[in-house]
Structure 1
Amino acid sequence: MSKILHTVAVLSACGILLSACSTTPRQTDHIGSSLESSVDARLVLPPPPVAGGAAQADDDRVFHETRALQGTPRWTLAQHDANLHTAQVVRSFSCAVGTTLELTKMSHFEALAKTTRKAIMHRTSEAKNFWHRTRPFVGTDLPVCTPTNDLGPHSSYPSGHATEGYSVALLLAHLLPERASLILQRGRVFGESRIVCGAHWKSDVVAGLLNASTQMDALLAQPALQPDLAAARQELQTSLSHAVAPPAEECAAEADAAAHSILPD
């Protein structure tokens, strides 16, 4: 395991061990836009690879090799993971959790997901604008799994999709520590989908996982979130007590993707 991925794993574990401490009514709506992350990704993340370096050569290699995945089940999963609507992202973790996740039935979890997302994406946008890295598909006619006109051509680092997916994974793993391994595995696969898509370099995704880990570790410790964390945990337990099995073919595709990681050297 690379040093960066080891750091991600350690930070993820730290986030999971933080515990909720109250069961009072929902507070997230009251803090709303006032929730901020104290973590400046421009300081935490390493700079992206430079042209002509070994890391950029590895990024180039992985981008070109993964174009061969077009039309495969892994490509289809990557297209699915490209949808960043909050309800869809949360639903993507159904197989890992063990029941179909319906955001409309989890008001506290929905509030948490949307509030933390806003805080994290503000910091992520700062980093994207700071590094202004060109996406891998720019200047090529190679296949990409999602419309490129929806993507800023020079906002590749870190991956916002990888950050978003792994942030949701960390939130779910914090609330369901008994399912943490499978949930975080799915979060990693969600990030790797951006490499498969051709929307991000490999190093963008690694940075996205680290970005999510550091941001969520800080946010989950905030006292204002503790009441909703406790209530969201109960919502998830209720869903599991009335489990609705996700489609078997989706779970099989996710398991296969997890077993064939894009990230190893």
Structure 2
Amino acid sequence: MGGMGICLSAMLLGGGMGIAAEPPASGPDGGYLTPAMQPDGTQYLPPPPQPGTARQHTDDRAFTSTRALKGTPRWALATSDADLHEDALLHAFSCAAGQNLSTAATPHLAALIHTMDMSEAPDMRKSKAYWHRPRPFVGNGQPICTEDDRAHLATSGAYPSGHTMLGWSIALVLAELLPDRATPILQRGRVFGESRIVCGVHWESDVQAGYMVGAAEIAAMHGSPAFRADMEQARSELTARRRDAVGSQDPACAIESDAARHSPL
């Protein structure tokens, strides 16, 4: 399966995710969801805040206050979390999982995540196109953590956050596969979404909606026998690698822990 790309990575970053595992037992279109199973975020999500409302004021305040984080370790973490390439994405959850995650070490998990993303992408694309909400940096010169993507992101709808959707989906799946690590994994999933606020490329409400989309998509995927079968393969893989622990001396772990204690919300 080498050369396959994560849909969000291709859509947002122009990159790809190569999967070093056998093809998962996915649905007819390469994903876990049939059209009848696909949730529709344009129906279950609330609309994004309108200008002048209290909700938009909250969004404005979060964007403004987090610009001061530029150059800090939290800004660096947000920059790292913006990278959806295979090993960067897996490494983002290694501290929380308590073991090293990578395409080489956990290929079945990598393949599972790839197919999850393929399954979720239609809902995300439809929702972004439906609302086509401008991102917070549009129309001003405020810094964002991925300046090279500024022009491209300015043309992409902000609501809901696709990075948050994928990060929360991964957190939900890993919490199910490693239930004794559920709390730090879910905490990392929250921080992964908050990184989009810190980065300056999403409003607070975009991120909150991204959590909802991720939860909805994973709930629907549990109705797929192929998803459940691939989950079991990933569970066996992670169980077999329990001794490949991430040590507390890893600097990334301390930065992630600090980010969890200092939410921008």
TM-score by length of 1: 0.85
The amino acid of 2:195's aligned partner reads S
Cα distance in 2 for partners of 1:177, 1:90 equals 18
Paired position in structure 1 for 2:126: 126
Answer whether contact 2:41 2:213 (CA < 8 A) is retained: yes
Cα distance in 1 for partners of 2:151, 2:240 equals 41
* CA displacement at 1:246 relative to structure 2: 6.8
Question: Over residues 193-245 of structure 1, what are the superposed CA-to-partner deviations in whole Å (9 max), with x where a residue is unaligned?
Answer: 00000000000000001110111111133112222211110111122123243
Paired position in structure 2 for 1:4: none
Cα distance in 2 for partners of 1:27, 1:200 equals 32
**What are structure 1's unaligned runs of at least 5 residues?**
1-24
* CA displacement at 1:144 relative to structure 2: 0.6
Matched, 1:108 2:108: yes
Paired position in structure 1 for 2:18: none
Answer whether contact 2:94 2:246 (CA < 8 A) is retained: no
Matched, 1:85 2:85: yes
Cα distance in 1 for partners of 2:127, 2:27 equals 28
Among candidates 230, 233, 254, match of residue 256 of structure 2: 254
Q: Which protein is richer in helix relative to its size?
A: 1
Answer whether contact 1:74 1:253 (CA < 8 A) is retained: yes
Answer whether contact 2:32 2:227 (CA < 8 A) is retained: no
Assess, with a 3 A threshold, how the Cα gap between structure 1 residues 82 and 118 changes in structure 2: closer, same or farther: same
* CA displacement at 1:154 relative to structure 2: 4.4
Cα distance in 1 for partners of 2:186, 2:64 equals 27
Cα distance in 2 for partners of 1:145, 1:34 equals 31
Paired position in structure 2 for 1:8: none
Instruction: State how 1:1-265 maps to structure 2 within 5 Å.
Output: 27-28=24-25, 31=28, 33-36=30-33, 37-147=37-147, 148-245=150-247, 248-263=250-265
**What are structure 2's unaligned runs of at least 5 residues?**
1-21
Cα distance in 1 for partners of 2:79, 2:248 equals 18
Answer whether contact 1:162 1:208 (CA < 8 A) is retained: yes
The amino acid of 1:139's aligned partner reads G
State the superposition RMSD in angstroms.
1.8
Assess, with a 3 A threshold, how the Cα gap between structure 1 residues 208 and 34 changes in structure 2: closer, same or farther: closer
Answer whether contact 1:192 1:261 (CA < 8 A) is retained: yes
TM-score by length of 2: 0.85
Aligned residues: 239
* CA displacement at 1:168 relative to structure 2: 1.0
In percent, how many aligned pairs have the same letter?
Answer: 46
Cα distance in 1 for partners of 2:70, 2:31 equals 42
Cα distance in 2 for partners of 1:196, 1:109 equals 28
* SS of structure 2 residue aligned to 1:162: helix
Assess, with a 3 A threshold, how the Cα gap between structure 1 residues 208 and 91 changes in structure 2: closer, same or farther: same
Cα distance in 1 for partners of 2:31, 2:165 equals 20
Assess, with a 3 A threshold, how the Cα gap between structure 1 residues 106 and 138 changes in structure 2: closer, same or farther: same
Cα distance in 1 for partners of 2:154, 2:63 equals 18
* CA displacement at 1:29 relative to structure 2: 5.5
* CA displacement at 1:109 relative to structure 2: 1.3
Cα distance in 2 for partners of 1:42, 1:87 equals 32
The amino acid of 1:197's aligned partner reads C
Cα distance in 1 for partners of 2:248, 2:152 equals 29
Cα distance in 1 for partners of 2:82, 2:123 equals 20
